[in-house]
Every structure is written in C-alpha cells, then in structure tokens.
C-alpha cells in the first residue's frame, strides 16, 4: 500500500480519513498517478491498446473535440474515430464488422 493510500485509509474501520482543512489540490498530489500502474502491469497487448483508446477518447471529449456529436454515441478503435450515431447497438455491430474486431474491442461513449 502506498503512503497516499495509507493516509487515505487511516481509519481502522476502513472508512476513508477526511480532513476538511486540506485543499483538494494537496490530496490529488498525494495520490499516485494511474498511467504508470498501467504501464507496469502485465496486460495483454490488445487490452493495453484498448486502454490507450479509452484514454484518447476521454482526452478528445475533455478537449471539446466531440462537441459536434452531441446527442450521439461515438466509437473509436485503434486510435481512430470511426463513426457516430444515436443507436448504440447498431453502431457497435456496424463498426465491429467494418473494423474486423469484436464489438467488445470498440471504445464507445455518449456525447452530452
């Protein structure tokens, strides 16, 4: 367990310790970054690539690059934005077939 985790879960009953006087920015700095954990984990290459796609889609969403697709699902695979549409099931089937991958390999999000 990391030092940050020990601080966060210091209560013997397993309840997270909370200090209302500690700024959120300090708490965030104490937590270990997520990406190095993925980089060091023994994930299969296909799963690692899918995690990269998840990260990329989240970055695009957060930068506002998907704003034009509001009200639709968008699908990404192998680092490429493949398509969009209102019907999640149809979108998954269409692009899994076109990309020759299982539906579960596609990374999909709804754009609000």
User: In DSSP terms, which residues pair with 110 in a beta bridge?
Assistant: 73
pLDDT averaged over every residue in the chain: 78
Percent of the chain at pLDDT > 90 equals 57
Residues 76-93 have pLDDT tens digits of 999 999 999 999 999 999
**pLDDT band at residue 44 using 50, 70 and 90 as cut-offs:** confident
Whether the CB-CB separation of 66 and 60 falls below 8 Å is answered with yes
Give the pLDDT of residue 46: 83
| 85 alpha-carbon distance from chain centroid | 20
Q: Return the structure tokens found at 109.
A: 């999000």
55-76 per-position pLDDT tens digit: 999 999 999 999 999 999 999 9
Token reading at 1: 């367990």
For residues 67 and 40, give the distance between their C-alpha atoms in angstroms, rounded to a whole number: 34
3-state class of 84 per DSSP? Answer: strand
CA atoms within 13 A on the CB side of 74: 20
**pLDDT band per the 50, 70, 90 thresholds, residue 37:** low
* pTM of the predicted structure, to 2 decimals: 0.62
């Amino acid at each position: 367990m990391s030092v940050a985790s020990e601080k966060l879960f210091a209560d013997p009953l397993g309840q997270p310790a909370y200090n209302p006087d500690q700024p959120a920015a300090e708490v965030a700095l104490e937590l270990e970054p997520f990406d190095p954990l993925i980089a060091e984990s023994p994930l299969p290459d296909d799963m690692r690539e899918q995690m990269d796609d998840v990260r990329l889609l989240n970055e695009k969403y957060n930068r506002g690059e998907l704003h034009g697709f509001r009200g639709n699902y968008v699908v990404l695979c192998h680092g490429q934005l493949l398509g969009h549409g209102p019907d999640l099931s149809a979108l998954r089937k269409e692009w899994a077939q076109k990309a020759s991958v299982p539906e579960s390999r596609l990374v999909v999000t709804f754009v609000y």
